[in-house]
Chains A and B, each alone.
Chain A
Amino acid sequence: MNQPLPAQWSPSRRDVLRLGGLGALALSLAACAGPTVGGGSSAPSASAGTDWSKITPASQITWWSNHPGASKAIEEELIRRFNAEHPDIAVKLVTAGAGYDEVAQRFQAASSSNNLPDLVIASDVWWFRYYLNGQVMPLDDVFAHLDVDVADYNPTLYGDYAYDSRHWAVPYARSTPLFYYNKTMWAAAGLPDRGPGTWAELAEWAPALRGQVPTDGAPLGLATGTSWAAWWFENMLWGHGGQYSDEFTVTLDTPQALAAGDFLHDLFHGSKVAGIGTDTGADFAAGVFASTIGSTGSLTGLLEAATFEVGTAYLPDGPSGSGTPTGGTGLAIPASRTPEQQLAAAMFLSFLTDPENTAYFSQNTGYMPVRTSAVEGETMSSIYAATPQFRTAVDQLAEKSRSQDWVRVFVPGGDQILTEGIEQIVLKGTPAAEAFASIAPRLEKAYQENVEPSL
């Protein structure tokens, strides 16, 4: 570089092309990363045969959460308690999104990198996609090694994560939808202090309730959106004897499903018992709606926000029965982490969901305790005595809960497609038959593309 460059020289087009050619060659080699094309099932055969007794837990793990039910401070406290017992395992809590979907999307995008957590939120509509992609490990062996009393997990909630005879997540912030009502309005309307037993009863009560809400309000407020509308609509669908799917066969064209769709249409566009809201919890607390359907995880927030007494009740029954879906999220351990990290994560996971800590979490959020012993334990009993609203969800779980329809929770994108159908009915007033007919082929296609080849 001592000699100056010849002043006249500049790279010719051919020179640049040569350089580009070299680069392209390197690229074509590098571009081999990505999915394997033409492979068979991607479902996992993960971590079978790890001898956990020979593994030393890692000294640091990362937890991706969305802090369900505004629980960041609670989660930090749980980590503090864990560190009191295990000072040698540091847990880094990362806010990985504002909701289940965002955490899941980030997890999917990071799956081909090393930037993965050791413990991740796995919601009802996402965990099976993690399983299909081989992204999470089965927990049975490591929990056996840690002597976790899995029989004490609520069987319905723990069973939700079972597939292929193994469990791929553990229940954490689990909920059901609840019927919340404004006791002051209820009393002013001369109604009994309870939720409506059936949807027909709510329709009978609606005229009296309409007198209690502002003109832009409604007796019942409902919100749409993914990971939400297709969840509460299951109650209406099951109440009319229908379902989204029989296993993976879409059944939205049955008379029962169509009756449920027509009922939903009437709720918003005929009887107008229901009104649409974007933040129905805030609207309910502000007195815009006399009642709403919300997650049990919103209970603490609603009790704090409302200036009136909040009543909680089961979701109403339909003409052909009842049913409440369970939902919320579990926690899963990524399959690609080292056994040391997985073991440390499993230790933390079992600590998070032990009877004492699930009670602490439940007490501060409203999510259901995931341990049977916790429900009848001292902490929860005193909470139920002081705030009986907390009890409704647990009783509803025992009496009315039902596993969700597969096409919603097991088909990637299923929830989103179903939400579009429901939004067509609610927001646009499309007849149910037309709305369902438009989404059914897409659900079938999503199943054929993303699930069938892996089963």
Chain B
Amino acid sequence: MTSVSSPVRPAPPERRRTIPGRAPAGRARFTRPSPRALRTWLAFLLLAGPNVVLLLVFVYRPLLQSFYYSTLQWNMGSPTARSVGLGNYVEWFQDPTTADVMVTTGVFMVATVGGSLVLGLGLALLLNRRLKGRGFARTVAFAPYVLSGVAVGMLWLFIFDPRYGLLSAGLRAIGLDSPDWYTTSPWALVMIIVVYLWKNVGYVALIYLAGLQAVPLELKQAAALDGASSARTFRSIVLPLLAPTTFFLTVTTLLSSLQSFDIIQAMTKGGPLGSTTTLMYQIYEEGFVTGRAGYASAVATILFLLLLVVTVVQLRFVEKKVHYA
């Protein structure tokens, strides 16, 4: 995401020959490493080792264990389990609720990623203007992002309450009835999306704001001299220059959207009737509520693969279309 206009780092000359402990080119042969090479290795282990160990223990070990658990029929908390091979995966693909979960996940993802990019950019454009109290407004806009998702969820439950909530009072004032947000299928998902956007849009706005401030003023001035309207300037100059920011935000908001859990747990617990059960929430529900730890691990593996594919596709294909200034 950084600029690549700086001079390219010169490749270390004859780097290969100076690598310690490496056998000469050609067939690999064991040679006793020199004391110097050993010292280098030791230094490498001392510096990189602790981080690598932490990653292995707290990231890769659970990941591998989860792959293993996904091949078991295991009731959470039980000391025994039965191996079922790929049975859990087969069941997930055959389960009629899988389609619903994937649709919910897709709708949530598109709405939250798209929504937060559009609203975040709008907010950033607004906050980039010379307004009175701009610093305060920026702080307020960013504040929800640092709040706990559970607290945010609880707060918005009161706002959405169809009988006593602020929103229903507002709707009544303009002669509309409040939908029953908690118990009607499409509305519950809308509610979750609105709250997610409120919480996360400040982050997107902040990053966009940084991007906007990096757009060179002289480009905009040159466009103005050429008679470009502000809309045209935005479309042809600002937006393309924001492409790296947009790309970065797409990747991060997409990942966080697919992993969101706290707001759903606090507000709807995946209901009503599973209408807010995303893939992430399904993992929790199967693992901790129904107690099917093996099946939950299989769903977790599927989510992991999905995230992997999405990220690789973005980095491989979408990034190529991004124009770095």
CB-contacts of A25-46 with B (<8 A): 26-27, 30-31, 33-42
Q: Flag if A37 contacts B289 (CB, 8 Å).
A: no
Q: Which of B15, B52, B61, B180 contacts A19 (CB 8 A)?
A: B52
Chain A residues with CB below 8 A from B161, complex form: 278
CB-contacts of A238-281 with B (<8 A): 276, 278
Chain B residues with CB below 8 A from A114, complex form: none
Q: Which of A39, A109, A276 contacts B79 (CB 8 A)?
A: A39
Contacts A9-B20, A15-B44, A27-B56: A35 and B80 contacting too (C-beta < 8 A)? yes
Q: Which residue of B lies closest to A217 (CB)?
A: B163
Chain A residues with CB below 8 A from B56, complex form: 20, 23-24, 26-27
Q: Flag if A31 contacts B61 (CB, 8 Å).
A: yes
Q: Nearest Cβ in chain B — how far from A72, in angstroms?
A: 18
Q: Which residue of A lies closest to B184 (CB)?
A: A427
Chain A residues with CB below 8 A from B57, complex form: 30
Is B256 at the interface (CB under 8 A from chain A)? no
Is A350 at the interface (CB under 8 A from chain B)? no
Q: Flag if B273 contacts A427 (CB, 8 Å).
A: yes
Q: Nearest Cβ in chain B — how far from A286, in angstroms?
A: 8
Contacts A9-B40, A27-B64: A111 and B77 contacting too (C-beta < 8 A)? yes
Q: Flag if A27 contacts B61 (CB, 8 Å).
A: yes
- Interface residues as binary, A123-138 with B (CB distance below 8 Å gives 1, 0 otherwise): 0000001101111000
Q: Flag if B78 contacts A42 (CB, 8 Å).
A: yes
Q: Flag if A38 contacts B83 (CB, 8 Å).
A: yes
Q: Flag if B83 contacts A428 (CB, 8 Å).
A: no
Contacts A15-B44, A39-B79: A278 and B183 contacting too (C-beta < 8 A)? yes
Contacts A19-B45, A413-B289: A133 and B273 contacting too (C-beta < 8 A)? no
CB-contacts of B172-224 with A (<8 A): 180, 182-185
Q: With the chains together, A224 CA to B271 CA distance in Å?
A: 10
Q: Flag if B22 contacts A12 (CB, 8 Å).
A: yes
- Interface residues as binary, B64-92 with A (CB distance below 8 Å gives 1, 0 otherwise): 11001100111111111111000000000
Q: Nearest Cβ in chain A — how far from B232, in angstroms?
A: 48
Q: Nearest Cβ in chain B — how far from A427, in angstroms?
A: 5
- Interface residues as binary, A42-69 with B (CB distance below 8 Å gives 1, 0 otherwise): 1000000000000000000000000000
Q: With the chains together, A133 CA to B80 CA distance in Å?
A: 8
Is A198 at the interface (CB under 8 A from chain B)? no
Is A84 at the interface (CB under 8 A from chain B)? no
Is B53 at the interface (CB under 8 A from chain A)? yes
Is B19 at the interface (CB under 8 A from chain A)? yes
Q: With the chains together, A437 CA to B162 CA distance in Å?
A: 32
Q: Which residue of A lies closest to B43 (CB)?
A: A5
Q: Flag if B163 contacts A216 (CB, 8 Å).
A: yes
Contacts A108-B77, A423-B273: A37 and B64 contacting too (C-beta < 8 A)? no
Chain B residues with CB below 8 A from A133, complex form: 75, 77-79
Is B60 at the interface (CB under 8 A from chain A)? yes
Interface residues on B, range: 35 or more
Q: Which residue of A lies closest to B44 (CB)?
A: A11
Q: Flag if A108 contacts B72 (CB, 8 Å).
A: no
- Interface residues as binary, B287-299 with A (CB distance below 8 Å gives 1, 0 otherwise): 0111110000000
Chain A residues with CB below 8 A from B81, complex form: 34-37, 39
Q: Which residue of B lies closest to A26 (CB)?
A: B56
Q: Flag if A416 contacts B289 (CB, 8 Å).
A: yes
Q: With the chains together, A34 CA to B77 CA distance in Å?
A: 10
Q: Nearest Cβ in chain A — how far from B98, in angstroms?
A: 14
Q: Nearest Cβ in chain A — how far from B76, in angstroms?
A: 5
Q: Nearest Cβ in chain B — how far from A217, in angstroms?
A: 9
Is A8 at the interface (CB under 8 A from chain B)? yes
Q: With the chains together, A134 CA to B79 CA distance in Å?
A: 8
Q: Which of B164, B184, B273 contacts A420 (CB 8 A)?
A: B273
Q: Flag if A6 contacts B18 (CB, 8 Å).
A: yes
Chain A residues with CB below 8 A from B19, complex form: 9, 12
Q: Nearest Cβ in chain B — how far from A23, in angstroms?
A: 4
Q: Which of A1, A37, A111, A412 contacts B83 (CB 8 A)?
A: A37
Q: Which of A9, A19, A424, A449 contacts B73 (CB 8 A)?
A: A449
Q: With the chains together, A111 CA to B288 CA distance in Å?
A: 12
Q: Which residue of A lies closest to B161 (CB)?
A: A278
Q: With the chains together, A11 CA to B73 CA distance in Å?
A: 42
Q: Which residue of A lies closest to B13 (CB)?
A: A8
Is A165 at the interface (CB under 8 A from chain B)? no
Chain B residues with CB below 8 A from A135, complex form: 77
Q: With the chains together, A104 CA to B18 CA distance in Å?
A: 59
Q: Nearest Cβ in chain B — how far from A310, in angstroms?
A: 20
Q: Which of B73, B77, B180, B274 contacts A276 (CB 8 A)?
A: B180
Q: With the chains together, A208 CA to B185 CA distance in Å?
A: 32
Q: Flag if A108 contacts B163 (CB, 8 Å).
A: no
Q: Flag if B183 contacts A132 (CB, 8 Å).
A: no
Q: Flag if B15 contacts A8 (CB, 8 Å).
A: yes
Q: Which residue of A lies closest to B55 (CB)?
A: A23
Is B48 at the interface (CB under 8 A from chain A)? yes
Q: Flag if A35 contacts B78 (CB, 8 Å).
A: yes
Is A178 at the interface (CB under 8 A from chain B)? no
Chain A residues with CB below 8 A from B15, complex form: 8
Is B144 at the interface (CB under 8 A from chain A)? no
Is B272 at the interface (CB under 8 A from chain A)? yes
Q: With the chains together, A112 CA to B65 CA distance in Å?
A: 14
Q: With the chains together, A8 CA to B37 CA distance in Å?
A: 13
Q: Flag if B78 contacts A413 (CB, 8 Å).
A: no
Contacts A19-B48, A420-B274, A446-B290: A27 and B77 contacting too (C-beta < 8 A)? no
Is B170 at the interface (CB under 8 A from chain A)? no
Q: Which of A35, A276, A424, A453 contacts B273 (CB 8 A)?
A: A424
Q: Nearest Cβ in chain B — how far from A364, in angstroms?
A: 26
Is A387 at the interface (CB under 8 A from chain B)? no
- Interface residues as binary, A82-124 with B (CB distance below 8 Å gives 1, 0 otherwise): 0000000000000000000100010111011000000000000
Chain A residues with CB below 8 A from B80, complex form: 35-42
- Interface residues as binary, A391-417 with B (CB distance below 8 Å gives 1, 0 otherwise): 000000000000000000000110011
Chain B residues with CB below 8 A from A105, complex form: 288-289
Q: Nearest Cβ in chain B — how far from A254, in angstroms?
A: 24
Q: Nearest Cβ in chain B — how far from A179, in angstroms?
A: 22
Q: With the chains together, A426 CA to B69 CA distance in Å?
A: 36
Q: With the chains together, A314 CA to B36 CA distance in Å?
A: 86
Q: With the chains together, A132 CA to B78 CA distance in Å?
A: 8
Q: Nearest Cβ in chain B — how far from A55, in angstroms?
A: 24
Chain A residues with CB below 8 A from B273, complex form: 420, 423-424, 427-428
> 10 nearest interchain CB pairs?
A39-B80, A413-B290, A35-B81, A108-B77, A23-B56, A105-B288, A133-B77, A111-B77, A412-B291, A42-B80
- A129-B75, A129-B291 provided; 5 other pairs, C-beta below 8 A? A109-B77, A216-B163, A413-B290, A450-B75, A453-B82
18 contacts between A and B (CB under 8 A): A6-B20, A6-B36, A20-B56, A31-B68, A35-B72, A35-B79, A36-B81, A37-B82, A38-B83, A108-B291, A134-B79, A226-B289, A413-B291, A416-B290, A424-B273, A428-B185, A449-B73, A453-B82
